[in-house]
Structure 1
Amino acid sequence: MLVLALVTLLLHGALMGLFYAFSMSVMPGLNAIDPAHAGAAMRSINRKILNPWLFIVFMGSPLAALVTGIVTGSVWFYAAAVVNGVGSFLVTVAINVPMNNALDAGTMPYQKYAPRWTRWNTIRTVACAVSLVLTGIGLTAL
Protein backbone atom coordinates (compact mmCIF):
# COMPACT_ATOMS: atom_id res chain seq x y z
CA MET A 1 0.00 0.00 0.00
CA LEU A 2 2.78 2.46 0.93
CA VAL A 3 4.79 1.55 -2.17
CA LEU A 4 1.77 2.15 -4.41
CA ALA A 5 1.17 5.53 -2.77
CA LEU A 6 4.83 6.49 -3.24
CA VAL A 7 4.75 5.45 -6.91
CA THR A 8 1.63 7.60 -7.32
CA LEU A 9 3.44 10.55 -5.73
CA LEU A 10 6.48 10.03 -7.96
CA LEU A 11 4.39 9.87 -11.15
CA HIS A 12 2.49 13.05 -10.29
CA GLY A 13 5.74 14.85 -9.46
CA ALA A 14 7.38 13.76 -12.70
CA LEU A 15 4.42 14.90 -14.79
CA MET A 16 4.21 18.23 -13.01
CA GLY A 17 7.95 18.72 -13.55
CA LEU A 18 7.65 17.97 -17.24
CA PHE A 19 4.83 20.47 -17.76
CA TYR A 20 6.55 23.05 -15.52
CA ALA A 21 9.80 22.80 -17.50
CA PHE A 22 7.94 23.48 -20.74
CA SER A 23 6.12 26.57 -19.47
CA MET A 24 9.10 28.01 -17.60
CA SER A 25 12.01 27.24 -19.91
CA VAL A 26 11.32 25.39 -23.17
CA MET A 27 8.64 27.71 -24.52
CA PRO A 28 10.37 30.96 -23.44
CA GLY A 29 13.56 29.64 -25.02
CA LEU A 30 11.79 28.82 -28.26
CA ASN A 31 10.00 32.17 -28.23
CA ALA A 32 13.38 33.92 -28.12
CA ILE A 33 14.42 32.59 -31.53
CA ASP A 34 13.11 33.02 -35.05
CA PRO A 35 9.51 31.70 -35.24
CA ALA A 36 10.32 29.42 -38.19
CA HIS A 37 13.12 27.77 -36.21
CA ALA A 38 11.00 27.67 -33.05
CA GLY A 39 8.18 25.97 -34.94
CA ALA A 40 10.56 23.41 -36.42
CA ALA A 41 12.08 22.73 -33.00
CA MET A 42 8.64 22.35 -31.38
CA ARG A 43 7.52 19.94 -34.10
CA SER A 44 10.62 17.86 -33.42
CA ILE A 45 10.00 17.97 -29.66
CA ASN A 46 6.38 16.92 -30.19
CA ARG A 47 7.47 13.90 -32.19
CA LYS A 48 10.27 12.82 -29.84
CA ILE A 49 8.26 13.21 -26.64
CA LEU A 50 5.89 10.47 -27.76
CA ASN A 51 7.76 7.63 -26.11
CA PRO A 52 7.08 4.97 -23.46
CA TRP A 53 8.49 7.13 -20.63
CA LEU A 54 5.96 9.87 -21.34
CA PHE A 55 3.08 7.42 -21.55
CA ILE A 56 4.05 5.75 -18.25
CA VAL A 57 3.99 9.10 -16.46
CA PHE A 58 1.10 10.72 -18.37
CA MET A 59 -1.30 7.79 -18.22
CA GLY A 60 0.14 6.28 -15.06
CA SER A 61 -0.46 9.32 -12.85
CA PRO A 62 -4.27 9.34 -12.82
CA LEU A 63 -4.44 5.55 -13.04
CA ALA A 64 -2.08 5.06 -10.10
CA ALA A 65 -4.04 7.60 -8.05
CA LEU A 66 -7.28 5.79 -8.82
CA VAL A 67 -5.83 2.38 -7.94
CA THR A 68 -4.31 3.79 -4.76
CA GLY A 69 -7.67 5.27 -3.86
CA ILE A 70 -9.34 1.90 -4.38
CA VAL A 71 -6.70 0.03 -2.36
CA THR A 72 -6.56 2.53 0.51
CA GLY A 73 -10.10 3.88 0.42
CA SER A 74 -8.60 7.37 0.72
CA VAL A 75 -10.61 10.18 -0.85
CA TRP A 76 -7.37 12.14 -1.33
CA PHE A 77 -6.15 9.73 -4.01
CA TYR A 78 -9.54 9.76 -5.72
CA ALA A 79 -9.41 13.55 -5.74
CA ALA A 80 -5.89 13.47 -7.20
CA ALA A 81 -7.09 11.11 -9.94
CA VAL A 82 -9.97 13.42 -10.87
CA VAL A 83 -7.90 16.62 -10.84
CA ASN A 84 -5.14 14.98 -12.88
CA GLY A 85 -7.60 13.30 -15.22
CA VAL A 86 -9.42 16.53 -16.01
CA GLY A 87 -6.63 19.09 -15.68
CA SER A 88 -3.90 17.09 -17.36
CA PHE A 89 -5.29 14.19 -19.40
CA LEU A 90 -8.44 15.87 -20.73
CA VAL A 91 -6.75 19.21 -21.44
CA THR A 92 -3.93 17.42 -23.27
CA VAL A 93 -6.26 15.32 -25.41
CA ALA A 94 -8.76 18.09 -26.14
CA ILE A 95 -6.49 21.10 -26.52
CA ASN A 96 -2.71 20.61 -26.56
CA VAL A 97 -2.54 17.58 -28.87
CA PRO A 98 -4.84 19.12 -31.51
CA MET A 99 -2.70 22.25 -31.41
CA ASN A 100 0.44 20.11 -31.82
CA ASN A 101 -1.20 18.43 -34.80
CA ALA A 102 -2.13 21.81 -36.31
CA LEU A 103 1.44 23.05 -35.88
CA ASP A 104 2.76 19.86 -37.47
CA ALA A 105 0.34 20.15 -40.40
CA GLY A 106 1.27 23.78 -40.96
CA THR A 107 -2.27 25.01 -40.33
CA MET A 108 -1.30 27.00 -37.21
CA PRO A 109 1.70 29.34 -37.26
CA TYR A 110 4.06 29.18 -34.33
CA GLN A 111 3.31 32.79 -33.33
CA LYS A 112 -0.36 31.86 -32.77
CA TYR A 113 0.45 28.43 -31.34
CA ALA A 114 3.00 29.35 -28.66
CA PRO A 115 1.01 31.68 -26.37
CA ARG A 116 -2.14 29.56 -26.43
CA TRP A 117 -0.27 26.26 -26.03
CA THR A 118 1.77 27.67 -23.13
CA ARG A 119 -1.35 29.02 -21.40
CA TRP A 120 -3.00 25.57 -21.51
CA ASN A 121 0.24 23.86 -20.55
CA THR A 122 0.43 26.09 -17.49
CA ILE A 123 -3.10 24.98 -16.59
CA ARG A 124 -1.88 21.38 -16.87
CA THR A 125 1.05 22.27 -14.61
CA VAL A 126 -1.23 23.75 -11.96
CA ALA A 127 -3.56 20.75 -12.14
CA CYS A 128 -0.59 18.42 -11.67
CA ALA A 129 0.66 20.51 -8.75
CA VAL A 130 -2.76 20.25 -7.11
CA SER A 131 -2.91 16.50 -7.75
CA LEU A 132 0.62 16.15 -6.36
CA VAL A 133 -0.43 17.94 -3.17
CA LEU A 134 -3.56 15.80 -2.91
CA THR A 135 -1.43 12.69 -3.32
CA GLY A 136 0.97 13.94 -0.63
CA ILE A 137 -1.90 14.57 1.76
CA GLY A 138 -3.23 11.11 1.01
CA LEU A 139 0.18 9.62 1.68
CA THR A 140 0.48 11.33 5.05
CA ALA A 141 -3.01 10.16 5.97
CA LEU A 142 -2.14 6.47 5.49
Structure 2
Amino acid sequence: MLILALLTLVLHGLLAGLFYAFSMSVMPGLNAVEPERAEAAMRSVNRKILNPWLFLVFLGSPVAALVAGLLADGAAAVWFLAAAGVGFAGSFLVTVAVNVPMNNALDAGTMPWKDYSRRWTAWNTLRAAASVVSLALVGVAIGAL
Protein backbone atom coordinates (compact mmCIF):
# COMPACT_ATOMS: atom_id res chain seq x y z
CA MET A 1 0.00 0.00 0.00
CA LEU A 2 2.81 2.40 0.80
CA ILE A 3 4.33 2.03 -2.67
CA LEU A 4 0.96 2.74 -4.31
CA ALA A 5 0.48 5.73 -2.02
CA LEU A 6 3.90 7.15 -2.91
CA LEU A 7 3.31 6.53 -6.62
CA THR A 8 0.00 8.39 -6.28
CA LEU A 9 1.79 11.28 -4.58
CA VAL A 10 4.46 11.48 -7.29
CA LEU A 11 1.92 11.34 -10.13
CA HIS A 12 -0.12 14.14 -8.55
CA GLY A 13 2.99 16.22 -7.97
CA LEU A 14 4.10 15.86 -11.58
CA LEU A 15 0.68 16.85 -12.90
CA ALA A 16 0.38 19.84 -10.58
CA GLY A 17 3.86 20.96 -11.63
CA LEU A 18 3.04 20.62 -15.32
CA PHE A 19 -0.08 22.77 -15.10
CA TYR A 20 1.62 25.28 -12.79
CA ALA A 21 4.58 25.67 -15.15
CA PHE A 22 2.30 26.41 -18.08
CA SER A 23 0.36 29.12 -16.24
CA MET A 24 3.33 30.84 -14.63
CA SER A 25 5.97 30.60 -17.36
CA VAL A 26 5.01 29.02 -20.69
CA MET A 27 1.93 31.13 -21.38
CA PRO A 28 3.46 34.43 -20.21
CA GLY A 29 6.49 33.61 -22.36
CA LEU A 30 4.32 32.99 -25.39
CA ASN A 31 2.35 36.17 -24.70
CA ALA A 32 5.64 38.09 -24.94
CA VAL A 33 6.09 37.25 -28.63
CA GLU A 34 4.06 38.05 -31.71
CA PRO A 35 0.70 36.24 -31.78
CA GLU A 36 1.57 34.29 -34.93
CA ARG A 37 4.74 32.95 -33.31
CA ALA A 38 2.88 32.16 -30.08
CA GLU A 39 0.21 30.24 -32.01
CA ALA A 40 2.82 28.27 -33.92
CA ALA A 41 4.74 27.44 -30.74
CA MET A 42 1.59 26.39 -28.89
CA ARG A 43 0.48 24.21 -31.78
CA SER A 44 3.85 22.47 -31.61
CA VAL A 45 3.62 22.06 -27.84
CA ASN A 46 0.08 20.69 -28.11
CA ARG A 47 1.25 18.06 -30.57
CA LYS A 48 4.41 17.08 -28.70
CA ILE A 49 2.79 16.88 -25.28
CA LEU A 50 0.58 14.02 -26.46
CA ASN A 51 2.96 11.25 -25.47
CA PRO A 52 3.00 8.25 -23.12
CA TRP A 53 4.59 10.22 -20.28
CA LEU A 54 1.75 12.74 -20.27
CA PHE A 55 -0.88 10.01 -20.44
CA LEU A 56 0.77 8.12 -17.58
CA VAL A 57 0.66 11.20 -15.34
CA PHE A 58 -2.63 12.67 -16.58
CA LEU A 59 -4.64 9.45 -16.49
CA GLY A 60 -2.59 7.74 -13.80
CA SER A 61 -3.11 10.38 -11.11
CA PRO A 62 -6.85 9.97 -10.55
CA VAL A 63 -6.74 6.22 -11.22
CA ALA A 64 -3.93 5.68 -8.69
CA ALA A 65 -5.81 7.76 -6.10
CA LEU A 66 -9.00 5.81 -6.77
CA VAL A 67 -7.24 2.45 -6.44
CA ALA A 68 -5.45 3.62 -3.28
CA GLY A 69 -8.78 4.78 -1.87
CA LEU A 70 -10.39 1.44 -2.59
CA LEU A 71 -7.51 -0.45 -0.98
CA ALA A 72 -6.95 1.81 2.04
CA ASP A 73 -8.91 1.72 5.28
CA GLY A 74 -10.56 4.41 7.37
CA ALA A 75 -9.71 8.05 6.94
CA ALA A 76 -6.93 7.34 4.44
CA ALA A 77 -9.48 5.81 2.07
CA VAL A 78 -11.66 8.91 2.27
CA TRP A 79 -8.73 11.24 1.59
CA PHE A 80 -7.50 9.19 -1.38
CA LEU A 81 -11.01 9.07 -2.83
CA ALA A 82 -11.36 12.83 -2.34
CA ALA A 83 -8.07 13.32 -4.21
CA ALA A 84 -9.35 11.13 -7.03
CA GLY A 85 -12.58 13.12 -7.25
CA VAL A 86 -10.95 16.53 -7.18
CA GLY A 87 -8.34 15.43 -9.70
CA PHE A 88 -10.92 13.91 -12.02
CA ALA A 89 -13.23 16.93 -11.92
CA GLY A 90 -10.62 19.69 -11.81
CA SER A 91 -8.06 18.21 -14.15
CA PHE A 92 -9.54 15.53 -16.40
CA LEU A 93 -13.00 17.03 -17.00
CA VAL A 94 -11.72 20.58 -17.44
CA THR A 95 -9.10 19.34 -19.89
CA VAL A 96 -11.59 17.36 -21.95
CA ALA A 97 -14.36 19.98 -21.86
CA VAL A 98 -12.35 23.19 -22.21
CA ASN A 99 -8.61 23.05 -22.86
CA VAL A 100 -8.55 20.35 -25.55
CA PRO A 101 -11.36 21.94 -27.59
CA MET A 102 -9.52 25.26 -27.38
CA ASN A 103 -6.31 23.55 -28.49
CA ASN A 104 -8.19 22.04 -31.42
CA ALA A 105 -9.62 25.44 -32.36
CA LEU A 106 -6.16 27.01 -32.21
CA ASP A 107 -4.78 24.20 -34.34
CA ALA A 108 -7.58 24.63 -36.89
CA GLY A 109 -6.98 28.38 -37.04
CA THR A 110 -10.50 29.18 -35.83
CA MET A 111 -9.41 30.79 -32.55
CA PRO A 112 -6.87 33.62 -32.59
CA TRP A 113 -4.23 33.93 -29.90
CA LYS A 114 -5.90 36.97 -28.32
CA ASP A 115 -9.05 34.90 -27.66
CA TYR A 116 -7.16 31.74 -26.76
CA SER A 117 -4.41 32.80 -24.38
CA ARG A 118 -6.25 34.42 -21.47
CA ARG A 119 -9.12 31.97 -21.44
CA TRP A 120 -6.87 28.91 -21.84
CA THR A 121 -4.55 30.12 -19.08
CA ALA A 122 -7.44 30.79 -16.69
CA TRP A 123 -8.77 27.27 -17.16
CA ASN A 124 -5.27 25.85 -16.93
CA THR A 125 -4.75 27.69 -13.66
CA LEU A 126 -7.91 26.04 -12.38
CA ARG A 127 -6.41 22.68 -13.40
CA ALA A 128 -3.22 23.59 -11.55
CA ALA A 129 -5.14 24.56 -8.41
CA ALA A 130 -7.22 21.37 -8.52
CA SER A 131 -4.06 19.33 -8.99
CA VAL A 132 -2.39 21.02 -6.03
CA VAL A 133 -5.47 20.34 -3.89
CA SER A 134 -5.41 16.70 -5.04
CA LEU A 135 -1.72 16.51 -4.20
CA ALA A 136 -2.39 17.86 -0.71
CA LEU A 137 -5.23 15.38 -0.23
CA VAL A 138 -2.92 12.52 -1.18
CA GLY A 139 -0.41 13.83 1.38
CA VAL A 140 -3.10 13.87 4.07
CA ALA A 141 -4.14 10.34 3.04
CA ILE A 142 -0.56 9.11 3.40
CA GLY A 143 -0.41 10.68 6.84
CA ALA A 144 -3.58 8.79 7.77
CA LEU A 145 -2.22 5.39 6.70
| TM-score interval, smaller chain | over 0.9
Structure 1: distance between partners of 2:4 and 2:90: 22
Residue 70 of structure 1 is matched in structure 2 by 70
Structure 2: distance between partners of 1:129 and 1:18: 11
Q: Deviations over 1:109-128 (max 9, x none)?
A: 01110000000000000000
Structure 1: distance between partners of 2:6 and 2:68: 10
Residue 91 of structure 1 is matched in structure 2 by 94
Residue 12 of structure 2 is matched in structure 1 by 12
1:46-125 equivalences in 2 (<5 Å): 46-73=46-73, 74-125=77-128
**Structure 2 unmatched ranges of 5 or more:** none
Find runs of 4+ consecutive structure 1 residues off by over 2 angstroms.
Answer: none
Alignment RMSD:
0.4
Q: Percent identity?
A: 70
Q: Deviations over 1:18-69 (max 9, x none)?
A: 0000000000000000000000000000000000000000000000000000
**Structure 1 unmatched ranges of 5 or more:** none
**Amino acid of the residue matched to residue 15 of structure 1?**
L
Structure 1: distance between partners of 2:98 and 2:27: 17
Structure 2: distance between partners of 1:85 and 1:124: 10
Residue 36 of structure 1 is matched in structure 2 by 36
**Amino acid of the residue matched to residue 91 of structure 2?**
S
TM-score when normalising by structure 1 = 0.99
Structure 2: distance between partners of 1:44 and 1:112: 18
Residue 133 of structure 1 is matched in structure 2 by 136
**Amino acid of the residue matched to residue 10 of structure 2?**
L
Partner of 1:108, secondary structure, is coil
Structure 1: distance between partners of 2:87 and 2:32: 31
**Amino acid of the residue matched to residue 109 of structure 1?**
P
TM-score when normalising by structure 2 = 0.97
Q: Deviations over 1:59-106 (max 9, x none)?
A: 000000000000103100000000000000000000000000000000
Structure 2: distance between partners of 1:130 and 1:11: 13
How many pairs are equivalent? 142
